[in-house]
Chain A
Amino acid sequence: MAKCSSQLLSHSRFIAVAVALALMVAFVTPSPVLAQQGGGPTAATSEQQLLNNLKGGVIAGQVSIPDKKSANLIHPAGRDWRTFHTVTLKWIGGIAILGMIALLVIFYLWRGTMRIEGGRSGRKIVRFNGFERFTHWLTASTFVVLGITGLNITFGRALILPWLGPEAFSAWSEWGKVAHNYLSFAFTLGVVLMFLMWIGQNFPTAADIKWLKMGGGMFSKGGEHAPAWKFNAGQKMLYWFVVLGGGVMIVSGFLLMFPFYGDLTVSGMELTQIVHGVVGVVFIALIVAHIYIGTLGMEGSFEAMGEGTVDMNWAKEHHPLWVEEEMQRGAEGGRTQPAE
């Protein structure tokens, strides 16, 4: 018994020391801490923490290579832009454009083509000269190509790629991108010319208020026509949208074409693309309505831009104040033409 207990005693000392060491190790060695704050070589910060602190900024550091943009380590806002581009813009574009088409269909079914009530008189008056028509068609034709190629970037993958297959779709999209980039200059020229050429006739007047109150005469068959000078209130609104909205498209488009111009950041580029996309689809929707009214929607209107002359009765019904003005000028050496 004594021998056992002395063995136990010597073992117990060993055991005690071993237990003490084990306890020391357990207390002193920290478990991997992933959420400590502060500096120091062994301090740790978790990715989630850093992202929470960011609030839309970027985490940036230093790099030793010449491209200083690569010093951005992470920019989480790319995630929001991804949602915008894959979801939000498609909804906005779909609602704007398909919604506009739906409205026009409903309007046409209810109202039909707006006829010249007095019938054609056979007498014509010059409405737009060659330069005006050139500027309009320059802007219009470039806009159509820009609009289609632009819509292709947002909707092409979902709507066209399944039909064309990857190689053909890429070839079409590549051509579309080149066309979009090069035609932008022609479109810019058109918008600038249009702005300068027609600004004098697009300032708001008293007639515009009356025109707007009457809904442009679009919703009432027969009866008094809404007053207008060369351009009615609706046309003036379109003019200013083309100039201002077009200006926005042009500036944002150039920034997208020359990326990071003026040290624009990635977030800046994303915002530019958002603006370009949203204003673009609204623009397209408005132009669809403009095309409708200038072709199917109103008898006698296309020839204004197609040939430059319009029927006198049409002019008296839709732009009576302008006709009076022209007739007075005509009495001093005019612009009217008899029908051929």
Chain B
Amino acid sequence: MARMKFLCDADRCIECNACVTACKNEHEVPWGINRRRVVTLNDGKPGERSISMACMHCTDAPCAAVCPVNVFYTTADGVVLHSKDLCIGCGYCFYACPFGAPQYPKTTNFGSRGKMDKCTFCAGGPEADGSKEEYEKYGANRLAEGKLPLCAEMCSTKALLAGDGDMVAKIYKERVSRRGYGSGAWGWQTAYHESIAS
């Protein structure tokens, strides 16, 4: 069974934000919610690196552990999804997430937090695959159509890889050995408790 993972090759990312735009457009993400973002470290200095970050779909996800109403579930592919119907907008998943993936609209009492929204690995939610309700709440379900996440598909340099973890790791290792350098699989230690062995 495939275990889906993201890998952003920090040495290839050119901060074009195509992944951000693709995600926003595909799922009609409302204004103010950023499922995916590109963070640039050491901007303008030697050693500048950009990394595209969204939900890493962790093994033993911290968001799922702290949720008071248990809205998270992990699919057979290892994708961490949640139910917006059950979410009470308490914000705990954001505190626990090392990557800051959960996002909240500024709605409900005192405009503090509405239902949590986050990257779904283009795998929708608990509603029926491809249904209108699923699209309205969670966005497109590409995985059910046999496609991979749009952010990785749209990446202009193929820095962002998404798919079966072993496949993605293999591609990255080949890249690193061919070009001779690599910053490592960013986030993999924290998310999956493993690193790309060299």
Distance of A32 Cα from B190 Cα, bound (Å): 21
- Are B195's CB and A166's CB within 8 A? no
* B side interface size, CB within 8 A: 64
- The verdict on A38 contacting chain B, using a C-beta distance below 8 Å, is yes
* A side interface size, CB within 8 A: 64
Name the CB-closest residue of A to B67.
A157
- Are A32's CB and B181's CB within 8 A? yes
Distance of A78 Cα from B97 Cα, bound (Å): 6
- The verdict on A266 contacting chain B, using a C-beta distance below 8 Å, is yes
- The verdict on B135 contacting chain A, using a C-beta distance below 8 Å, is no
B141-166 CB contacts (< 8 Å) to partner A: none
Distance of A257 Cα from B96 Cα, bound (Å): 17
Query: What are the residues of chain A within 8 A of B97 when measuring CB–CB?
Result: 78
Contact partner, A73, options B39, B177, B182, Cβ 8 Å: B39
A30-B181, A273-B95 known; A76 and B190 CB under 8 Å? yes
A39-B46, A61-B40, A258-B112 known; A44 and B181 CB under 8 Å? yes
Distance of A324 Cα from B103 Cα, bound (Å): 62
Contact partner, A61, options B42, B100, B182, Cβ 8 Å: B42
A74-B187, A78-B95 known; A153 and B47 CB under 8 Å? no
Query: What are the residues of chain A within 8 A of B92 when measuring CB–CB?
Result: 85, 273
User: Per-position contact with B for A123-156: 1 when CB-CB < 8 Å, else 0?
Assistant: 0000000000000000000000000000011101
Name the CB-closest residue of A to B20.
A65
- The verdict on A202 contacting chain B, using a C-beta distance below 8 Å, is no
Q: How far is the CB of B99 from chain A (nearest CB, A)?
A: 6
Most buried by B among A42, A43, A74: A74
By secondary structure, the B interface counts as loop
- Are A47's CB and B186's CB within 8 A? yes
- The verdict on B2 contacting chain A, using a C-beta distance below 8 Å, is no
Contact partner, B68, options A31, A41, A156, A257, Cβ 8 Å: A156
Distance of A33 Cα from B179 Cα, bound (Å): 11
A61-B42, A70-B34, A75-B98 known; A32 and B177 CB under 8 Å? yes
- Are A174's CB and B88's CB within 8 A? yes
Distance of A76 Cα from B53 Cα, bound (Å): 15
Query: What are the residues of chain B within 8 A of A182 when measuring CB–CB?
Result: 109
Query: What are the residues of chain A within 8 A of B96 when measuring CB–CB?
Result: 78-79, 81-82, 85
- The verdict on A53 contacting chain B, using a C-beta distance below 8 Å, is no
User: Per-position contact with B for A156-180: 1 when CB-CB < 8 Å, else 0?
Assistant: 1100010000110110011001100
Name the CB-closest residue of A to B111.
A258
- Are A257's CB and B47's CB within 8 A? no
Distance of A47 Cα from B10 Cα, bound (Å): 12
- Are A29's CB and B195's CB within 8 A? no
A157-B68, A257-B110, A269-B95 known; A61 and B184 CB under 8 Å? no
Name the CB-closest residue of B to A270.
B95
- Are B38's CB and A79's CB within 8 A? no
Q: How far is the CB of A254 from chain B (nearest CB, A)?
A: 10
- Are B110's CB and A73's CB within 8 A? no
Distance of A177 Cα from B182 Cα, bound (Å): 47
Query: What are the residues of chain A within 8 A of B83 when measuring CB–CB?
Result: 166
- The verdict on A338 contacting chain B, using a C-beta distance below 8 Å, is no
Name the CB-closest residue of B to A36.
B181
- Are B85's CB and A170's CB within 8 A? yes
- The verdict on A48 contacting chain B, using a C-beta distance below 8 Å, is yes
Distance of A256 Cα from B112 Cα, bound (Å): 9
Query: What are the residues of chain A within 8 A of B173 when measuring CB–CB?
Result: 32
Distance of A73 Cα from B181 Cα, bound (Å): 22
A63-B37, A76-B190 known; A259 and B184 CB under 8 Å? no
- Are A63's CB and B195's CB within 8 A? no
Query: What are the residues of chain A within 8 A of B86 when measuring CB–CB?
Result: 166-167, 170
Distance of A152 Cα from B170 Cα, bound (Å): 45
- Are A85's CB and B66's CB within 8 A? yes
Distance of A166 Cα from B68 Cα, bound (Å): 11
- The verdict on B51 contacting chain A, using a C-beta distance below 8 Å, is yes
Query: What are the residues of chain B within 8 A of A81 when measuring CB–CB?
Result: 66, 95-96
Name the CB-closest residue of B to A48.
B189
Name the CB-closest residue of B to A35.
B184
- Are B91's CB and A34's CB within 8 A? no
Q: A47-B184, A82-B65, A259-B112 are in contact. List 13 more A-B contacts (CB 8 A).
A: A29-B180, A31-B198, A32-B173, A34-B195, A41-B47, A60-B39, A61-B39, A64-B38, A67-B37, A70-B37, A73-B53, A82-B96, A157-B69
Residues of chain B having any CB pair with chain A under 8 Å: 11, 15, 17, 20, 32, 34, 37-43, 45-47, 50-51, 53, 62, 65-71, 83, 85-92, 94-100, 109-110, 112-113, 173, 176-177, 180-190, 195-196, 198
**Which 5 A-B pairs give the minimum distances between C-beta atoms?**
A39-B47, A39-B46, A170-B86, A42-B181, A61-B41
Could you list 20 A-B pairs, sorted by A, with CB under 8 Å? A34-B183, A34-B196, A46-B195, A47-B186, A51-B190, A61-B42, A63-B39, A64-B38, A73-B39, A78-B62, A156-B68, A156-B69, A157-B68, A166-B86, A167-B86, A178-B109, A181-B109, A256-B91, A257-B112, A270-B95
